[in-house]
Structure 1
Amino acid sequence: MRYRLITTASAVVLGLMTAVHGAEITQDGANAIRDNLNNLLPEDIAKSGVVAVNPAGTRYEIIYDLAKLLSKVNPADFTIGGLKPISMFATPQDNGLWNVEGDNSLNVSGHFKGPDQKRTEFTYSIASLAYTSIFDPAISYFRSGDFSAKDIKATSTTDTEQVNVSVGDVKYKLTSADSAAGRMDFAVNGTLTAFAEQVSGKEMPPVHITADAIDFDARVYSLPAKELRDIVVFALDHAEEKQISKENEEKLKAMLRDAFPLISSLEETIDLHNLAVTGAAGSGGAKSFGYRLTIDGPSDATRLGVAMNAADVTFDSPMVPAAYSAFLPQAVDVQFGIPDMDFAAFGDEFMKLDLTKSREEGEDAGKKAVERLFRDGKFVMDFPKISAKSGVYDIDMSAKVESRLDAGKDEYALQASILARDYDKTIAAVQELAKANPELNQASFGMLMVKGFAKTDPDGRQRWDVTVTPDGSVTVNGQQIKGPDKPE
């Protein structure tokens, strides 16, 4: 069932690949588009009449009656009601591109059984889903477009849990540009407003999550759009085959070679505004919460980076005594990444895989490809910045951790720099808490010992440069505080 839905969705954009463009709108042209779309579908689905194409003035109307996909599905496993035909309009342009536009609504409900055979009831509704876009048959994708949706609601209910989600409006824009060597750059950005989610269950009080707005921006550079189109079509054509033939393996590998490297860089950011979470345990939130993903660098030295930050953080819970509230962070910034990944070597090793072998044999060979992804069997993670700030502390840290992928080896190395502003203020706050909780006296004593190893930076912050070597030695600011581990 999933394969059929994916295939049909792909056919929505692939079907215009060979249709006649820049010509008079005729029934013959409509039939040609319909036949092209049907050729991309499994035979039994094509015969069901799921696709219809009609001349509509200066454009073609393409109608997808997705309800016909469900005619042979066991209603005990999956049912859906209210599924209306979806229509879009395609207008051929003189330059070979197509203008594709539509405005549909959705209001469906039904149920399905998951792999565990548990029944899930669902409802989905969208008051309006509108778009105007430019489709390029050469890449079987949109070159640009403006998309919007209004009043989105969804519910999911099982015998133990219920989830309700609603969104006010969604608006986003897609743009593209030609890149070097026949590749393309794509960018999408937009905003989602009035997000709300509630999760509740038999053994869980309701939890509410809301955000006034969610902004998103994503960019990918030097994407081999045509080559990826060929790979997608190939995968759809052979999706139901249990094992790939040697001939098809060579075809697939040739297409992958043409597509490598898949991108030169990628950026993705998501920003939530006035995020709030409430539940039985208390309430909290942040004026802003951000997430960023980056992939950049040459294929033989690629870095994956992730960053998350929150500002004006609040938390109110009876589980946190008032005396400890000052220790809750008001701002957090976490950045980490995996540098120097060799995707060129990974691709070379992947091409050696025998895809015609069993899954178990393929997994063993795939492990070798993963090992070559990391140079000399070393897995490195860097932390350019980890910071937290409250009324009683202000801490910044950067670090680099190395470990090995070799089986049976658990050695690691660490280099870290920790800086604390107003560290005496932090110690004093812990000592004040210790008056009511004597167990914290040991913590404050430990903090005083740590202060003895600190150096003072020109800006007045306390600094600790920590090094841990693979033999277990530990030094702080050049002073060894632990020697090598004894050999086993």
Structure 2
Amino acid sequence: MRRQILMASAALALVCASPALAQEVSASGAESMQQKLTRYLPQDMIDAGLVTVKAASSFYELRFNPTVLIDKAKTGAVQVEGLKPLTAYLRPMPEGTYRIEANDSLDIKGTIDAAPGKNSFTYLVESMKLDGIYDPEILYFTSADWTAKRLAFTSTSSQESVTASVGETAMRVAAEKKDAGTLDITSTGVMKAFAETITGGPSGRVDIGADTVDIDVSLDGARYKVMQELVFFVLDNMHKDKLEAPDAARLKELLRASMPIFDNLTETIKASNVTVGTDKGTFGAAAVSYNLDMNGIAHSTRFGFGFDVEGPKPPAGVLPVAFEGALPERATFKAAVTNLDLAGAVTYLLDNADFTKTEPLTEAQNKEIGRIILPDGSMTVQFEDVSAVSPIYDVHLSGTMLVYPEQKDRHSADVKITMREFDKTVAYLQKNAATVPEFGQAAFGLLMMKGLARDAGGGAQVWDLKVGEDGKVLINGQPLPFQQ
């Protein structure tokens, strides 16, 4: 079943896979399109009408019938009600592209009978619309808008139940050819009125909500031409138990040509007015953001990640009043793992792997790939912005840490800590020390640290902190007194 779904999905992704199809609408054109779409499908699915194309006066009607997948699964473990064909209309455009329009809805109910018990689920989409321009050369949309209203999902098992809903969703994608073989792709979108409830399990009941969820993704320099060839190669050979030598050589050739796959990937997701309801009360935040970025499969690959919380708000009474006053208005963590030689590892793989075998690499060769990725065994973690800001403090940390995954006790660091509003912070801690004894200890510690700081001007105190692999610490170039 999994393989059949994969093949069906791949076939749909190849819609209009030849610019030659952009011509006057005709029965022969519909037949040619259907043959291309069903090229990788089993014959019984083709005969059952999983994918069909018909010619109308000025467009092609493309229909996908998912009930065929369930009927051909040959198992009673999955029962689904409400499945219906999904239809899209393809209008040939003068420049060789297609305008694709679709307007559908979903209302599906089903059960999956699997250990440890029967699970039930529902999917509801009141309406979903697609309007875009599809370019057969790049096998992707040059522009497209997708909208949906009233999305809902439920899943119930003997252990827990999950319900989720979105009031409205709008997504826009666009692709621009940069040269003969690369694309820049962008995708932006927003989900409104997101809500999810999880009942059961160790947490009891958890309610998660957000007014809006904004999504922004960009992929620069995607090597679409060679990736198309690679996808077709996999589809053409996925039925084989093993590759013959000429096919294995071709696979290596395609993989080499695909490097670095893309130049840059960035993704940002921001949820606004977030609430998380638990048995302890409702936690909230004005906004929670997540981001990642990567520069492709390179000799010096960088993988960045981070999150940001604005206006965190705990439930009333969970924290003492003194602690509530010390909560940050904003907290940020942004870091990156750098200097990963992923391109070197791929090159070694292609130089040494034998794809005609079930196990292309030996155990020693697999270990060598790990050594190439981290040449001296160290992983570099770059702290780009670790900060917390409130009316009584302003702390920032940046710098680098080296860790050795195979040597847990070996590490070193070189970081810079900058603290503004220092006197205000100490005064707040001292003022509330009677209520929170730990604040008194913290104030004493900060005053000791101030003696080791350097004045960066503007009321900022700075500590350049170096920690060696031997555990020795230098602060602004000076060893700690007890380590001298």
The answer to whether the superposition gives a TM-score over 0.5 is: yes
The Cα of 1:422 is off from its aligned counterpart by 2.5
Say whether the 8 Å CA contact 1:190–1:217 is kept in structure 2. Answer: yes
- 1:50 matches 2:50: yes
Aligned AA for 2:13? V
Paired residue secondary structure (1:247): helix
**Are 2:237 and 1:263 aligned?**
no
Structure 1: how far apart are the matches of 2:368 and 2:332?
35
The structural deviation recorded for 1:63 is: 0.9
CA contact (8 A) 1:314 1:330 kept: no
**How many Å separate the matches in 2 of 1:419 and 1:40?**
59
Q: Where in structure 2 are the equivalents of 1:119-158 lying within 5 Å? A: 119-158=118-157
Q: 1:141 to 1:482 in 2, by over 3 A?
A: farther
Which residue of structure 2 aligns with residue 161 of structure 1?
160
Partner of residue 80, structure 2: 80
* Residue 139 (structure 1) shift: 2.7
- For 2:219, the equivalent position in structure 1 comes to 220
Q: Is this contact kept in 2: 1:21–1:94, CA < 8 A? A: no
Aligned to 1:184: 183
* Matched residue, 2:11: 11
Q: What amino acid does structure 2 have at the position aligned with 1:413?
A: S
Match of 1:67 in 2: 67
- The CA distance in 2 between the partners of 1:309 and 1:204, in whole Å, is 24
Find the aligned partners of 2:112 and 2:183 in 1 and give their Cα distance. 39
Q: Which amino acid aligns with 2:173?
A: L
Alpha-carbon separation, structure 1, partners of 2:19 and 2:385? 53
Distance 2:99 2:285 in 1: 42
SS in structure 2 at match of 1:457: strand
Q: Distance in 1 between matches of 2:86 and 2:393?
A: 56
Alignment of 1:404-443 (within 5 A): 404-405=404-405, 407-408=406-407, 410-438=409-437, 441-443=440-442
Q: Report the Cα offset of residue 266 of structure 1.
A: 1.6
> Does residue 209 of structure 2 align to residue 210 of structure 1?
yes
Q: Please tell me whether the aligned partners of residues 400 and 415 of structure 1 are also in contact (alpha carbons under 8 angstroms).
A: yes
Distance, in Å, in 2 between the alignment partners of 1:285 and 1:204 is 17
User: Residue 16 of structure 1 aligns to a residue in which SS?
Assistant: coil
Which consecutive residues of structure 1, in runs of 5 or more, have no partner in the other structure? none
Moved more, 374-383 or 215-224: 374-383
Q: How does 1:363-402 map to 2 (within 5 A)?
A: 365-402=365-402
Over 3 Å counting, the alpha-carbon distance change for 1:419 and 1:19 in structure 2 is closer
TM-score (norm 2): 0.92
Supply the distance in 1 between the matched residues of 2:447 and 2:95 (Cα, whole angstroms).
74
Matched-pair contact (CA < 8 Å) for 2:261–2:296: no
Question: Does the CA-based 8 Å contact 1:19-1:32 persist in structure 2?
Answer: no
What aligned pairs does 1:314-393 form with structure 2 within 5 A after superposition? 314-352=313-351, 353-359=353-359, 361=361, 365-393=365-393
Which deviates more from structure 2 when the two are superposed, residues 284-293 or residues 358-367?
Answer: 358-367
Query: How many Å apart are 1:436 and its aligned residue?
Result: 3.7
Alpha-carbon distance between aligned partners in 2 of 1:360 and 1:424, rounded to the nearest angstrom: 62
Q: CA deviation at 1:205?
A: 3.4
Q: Is the 8 A contact 1:393 1:420 kept in 2?
A: yes
**CA shift at 1:388, angstroms?**
0.7
How far off its partner does 1:192 sit?
A: 1.4
* Partner Cα separation in structure 1 for residue 269 and residue 412 of structure 2: 33
CA distance in 2, matches of 1:370, 1:233: 29
> Would the aligned equivalents of 2:260 and 2:296 in 1 still touch at CA under 8 Å?
no
CA contact (8 A) 1:473 1:484 kept: yes
Moved more, 20-29 or 6-15: 20-29
Q: Secondary structure at the match of 2:247?
A: helix
Distance of 2:373 and 2:257 partners within structure 1: 20
* TM-score normalised according to structure 1 size: 0.91
- Secondary structure at the counterpart of residue 248 of structure 1: helix
The answer as to whether partners of 2:195 and 2:210 remain within 8 angstroms in 1 is yes
Native 8 Å contact 1:79 1:111 kept in 2: yes
Which range moved further: 232-241 or 381-390? Answer: 232-241
Gaps of 5+ in 2: none
1:452-463 matches, cutoff 5 A: 452-463=451-462
Q: Percent identity?
A: 30
Give the drift of 1:310. 2.1
Find the aligned partners of 1:211 and 1:259 in 2 and give their Cα distance.
39
